[in-house]
Chain A
Amino acid sequence: MNHLSSETFKENARAALADVQLRGALKNATSLFGERRKEAAASLPNWEELRTQARAIKDEVLSDLDRYLKEFVRNAESRGAVVHRARDAAEANSIICGLAKERNARVIVKSKSMTTEETHLNDALEAAGMQVVETDLGEYIIQLANEPPSHIIAPAIHKTRQQVSELFATELGMPPTDDIAQMTSTARATLRDRFAAADVGISGVNFAIAETGTLVIVENEGNIRLTTSLPRMHIAMMGIEKVIPRFADLDVFLKLLPRSGTGQRLTTYQSFITGTKRDAADEGPDELHIVLLDNGRSRMLAHPVTRQSLACIRCGACLNACPVYQQVGGHAYGSVYPGPIGAVITPQLMGIEKAAQLPFASSLCGACRDVCPVKIDIPQLLLHLRAEISPRKGSTAERLAFKVWAKVMTSPSLYKLSSIAGRILQHVMPISRAWTSGRDLRPIESKSFHDLWSND
């Protein structure tokens, strides 16, 4: 089920619901992440205060993003980095392909980066004749399977151990096994060889610190450390919203991000990259290029309601908490950003007409808002997008139904009439066949409360 479209969410979801293996994998993973997050958050007495602080820092940046970006660029460049600005995905990919070609790169290693997934960078590099190897284990698995990620931090969350074993048997020729350690060490051996051969390393960015020009990237496997230090050229791609003002702000974000994502107190590695090496004899890449990606973010920034979408730190907690994501998984959304935050940002990045179903793929339960470490009011954003979509793109029947509904609900006589009509019609027409296929519908009362009150 690879490369599905957001436009067919309903069909994608139906197929996902019928996939027993997928639902088993999702249930295990989302509940495990959810429980761990809960424990990790509870272990910090000032959790709520940290969330408030994190949001305040993000709001500070977003209210004056240009200034913070300029400060970041100035400081990064003064330490030897070269900063590029890309208006959209095509521009970002072409900048990176150009840099790789200048290096005559044949092999490129990549660490996990949602932003490069967003621009479909791998396709562009491969089309330019280069071999691209994903080095995060989850990303490596889905690259071998030729699938997009299905979760922001756990890209292969939809795969069972059995499926990975079968994949490794086919793609890497290893004997099928149940032993995760054995599978990991096979992947590691293959990847080590690619690291050694790589001409360019491409990474994402978790935080970009304005006052020092430092890139901060967190991970557990050590592959980011290798990607950003072994090849002669390191290219980092980041959304323009990743900048934070001060080094000290990390105190807040490094407490929130791992706890919200995996339930860890700290990830195994935190890489801090400030410019290129100072001395030619030092280790590390000769060149550091930073690509700042807009790709619709300025549009989100411009609107006072949608602006908060850019506060997201891509922890994935809202996915794990979402009852819809828990059932259908990430691929159904047809976007590299699935789940509640995906339903919010995908229509804003890809255009509303391409993802008009996604803001409706939510029961508005609010569990996402509760777990968000930066307090994004996702239900409010979903409602905002629904209001953009429905009056213009809702079906004629639906738009008419709500016009009639408003008339009925503002007229006591029409309300009474429709109540009587409903009681009669329920016996001759199916109210909603889809609804009643799984549940019994409670019959309409023979006397409404309005009727009873007059008899009171």
Chain B
Amino acid sequence: MWNAGAATEGRPYSSARSANEMKVALFVTCLVDQMWTSIGVSSVAVLRRVGCKVEFDKRQTCCAQPAFNTGYLDEARVVARRFISIFEESKADAIVSPSGSCTAMVHHYPQLFAGDSEWLPRAQAIAARTHELSAFLVRVLGKEDVGASWKGRLTWHDACHGLRDLNLKSEPRTLIRNVRGAEFVELEYADACCGFGGTFSVKYPEISLAILDQKIDAIERAGVQAVVSGDASCLMQIGGRLSRKGSKVRVMHLAELLNESSQQ
């Protein structure tokens, strides 16, 4: 743990690619669209703050993950083809999403269209352009500090697909550590699953809950005001249990945390 504010004073913005040139197409995800719009609003604000031009195609819906993960590949392909067709029309330099899980799904599209000479190259092209928010900020733009500030003690939960499919480990932590006023502590077993797993939590709610309680115990031991993560799904799972237990710990998406400065 350390106090991020003091450590990062005066650090120059590094820049892999000037954000001013970047046009970004936002894939907000169906979950954020319907259940947690402030994640989308915050993502847009943060991307604009670092100089990106953000567009949003209102025809977009879902990445197809629920069907893909439940074994309904025909249905998944129908929805994935539509995603590809819509985002192919965009002239944006990158497709950015505030979800490691949905981004990972788009990265799985080539697997879904293996052996399909028409759709495989299109899937590969879309996958290559699609980035999770923290990966886009740090890896593509080279922005490690987006000028956010939030006062309090917080921790980070590694959402599984972001961590293991996209290898996001240092990127979100770097961004969090550069939030002024935030005291970051590592969560015990930060990389352990929260038990959500999409339809898994519906098919096996009791096992899902038992796994979740390990995560809740670790969060309680960390003594934080907020737990931050990169996926709305994990945060709904964790937040739903914290709320049921009457905990004061709040759940916050990374985009929301990084947007915590315009208000201050």
Q: Which residues of A contact B (CB under 8 A)?
A: 10, 13-14, 17, 323-324, 326-328, 360-367, 369-370, 380, 383, 385-391, 394, 398-399, 402-403, 405-406, 408-410, 412, 415, 419, 422, 432, 434-435, 437-442, 444-445, 447-450, 452-454
Q: Check A445–B207 contact: CB distance below 8 A.
A: no
* A127 vs B120: C-alpha distance when bound (angstroms): 56
Q: Do the beta carbons of A366 and B75 come within 8 Å of each other?
A: no
Quote the shortest CB–CB distance from A385 to chain B (angstroms): 8
Determine if B221 is an interface residue (Cβ-Cβ < 8 Å). Answer: no
CB B128 to nearest CB in A, in angstroms, measures: 20
**Residue from the list B58, B59, B200, B239 in contact with A442, Cβ < 8 A:** B239
Contact status of A391 and B74, CB under 8 A, knowing A360-B203, A452-B37: yes
Which among A380, A383, A422, A454 is the interface contact of B58 at CB below 8 angstroms? Answer: A454
Give the complex CA separation of A439 and B194 in angstroms: 13
Q: Which residue of B lies closest to A418 (CB)?
A: B34
* Chain A CB within 8 A of B47 CB: no
| Chief secondary structure at chain A's binding surface | helix
- Using known A-B contacts A363-B193, A406-B78, A449-B40, determine if residue A13 contacts B204 with beta carbons closer than 8 Å: yes
Contact of B210 among A327, A364, A380, A440 (CB under 8 A): A327
Chain B 179-195 near chain A by CB (<8 Å), digits 1 or 0: 00000000000011101
Contacts of B37 in A (CB 8 A): 445, 447-449, 452
Asked whether B69 is an interface residue with its Cβ less than 8 Å from the other chain, the reply is yes
Given the complex, which residues of B lie within 8 Å of A442, measured CB to CB? 35-36, 236, 239-240
Q: Establish whether residues B193 and A365, one from each chain, have CB atoms under 8 Å apart when the complex forms.
A: yes
A-B contact pairs, 22 of them (CB 8 A): A13-B204, A328-B210, A360-B199, A360-B203, A364-B161, A364-B197, A364-B200, A366-B163, A366-B164, A367-B193, A391-B74, A402-B72, A402-B75, A403-B75, A405-B66, A406-B78, A419-B33, A437-B205, A438-B205, A439-B241, A452-B37, A453-B58
The list of the 9 closest CB pairs from A to B, nearest first, reads A363-B197, A439-B240, A386-B71, A390-B71, A365-B193, A366-B164, A434-B205, A406-B75, A365-B160
Q: Are B58 and A363 in contact (CB under 8 A)?
A: no
Contacts of A394 in B (CB 8 A): 70-72
Distance between Cα atoms of A387 and B70 in the complex (Å)? 7
* Contact A409 to B62, CB < 8 A, known contacts A435-B202, A438-B244, A439-B209: yes
Given A366-B165, A383-B69, A390-B70, the answer on whether A450 and B205 have CB atoms closer than 8 Å is no
- Give Cα distance in the complex from A442 to B242, angstroms: 12
Residue from A362, A383, A452 in contact with B200 in the complex, judged by beta carbons closer than 8 Å: A362
B201: CB under 8 A from chain A? yes
| Contact between chains at B211 and A13 (CB < 8 Å) | no
Chain B residues contacting A386 (CB-CB under 8 Å) are 69-71
Nearest B residue to A414 by beta-carbon distance?
A: B61
Among B62, B82, B197, B202, point to the contact of A432 (Cβ < 8 A): B202
- A406 / chain B contacts, CB cutoff of 8 Å: 67, 72, 75, 78-79
The answer to whether B35 touches A445 (Cβ under 8 A) is: yes
Between B72, B161, B196, the greatest number of chain A beta carbons within 10 A of the residue's beta carbon is seen for: B72
Chain B residues with CB under 8 Å of A363's CB are 160, 193, 195-198, 200-201, 208, 211
Query: CB distance B164 to A412 under 8 Å?
Result: no
- The answer to whether A445 and B210 touch across the interface, beta carbons within 8 angstroms, is no
Complex interface: chain A residues within 8 A of B244 (CB): 438-440
Name the distance in Å between B96's Cβ and chain A's nearest Cβ. 14
Q: Report the Cα distance A422→B34, complex, angstroms.
A: 9
State whether A449 touches B32 (Cβ < 8 A): yes
Q: Mark each residue of chain B from 223 to 260: 1 if its CB lies under 8 Å from any CB of chain A, else 0.
A: 00000000000001101110110000000000000000
Question: Beyond A360-B200, A435-B205, A450-B58: 15 further Cβ-contacts under 8 Å?
Answer: A327-B207, A361-B204, A362-B197, A363-B198, A364-B161, A366-B161, A409-B61, A410-B79, A432-B205, A434-B206, A438-B205, A439-B240, A440-B244, A445-B36, A449-B41
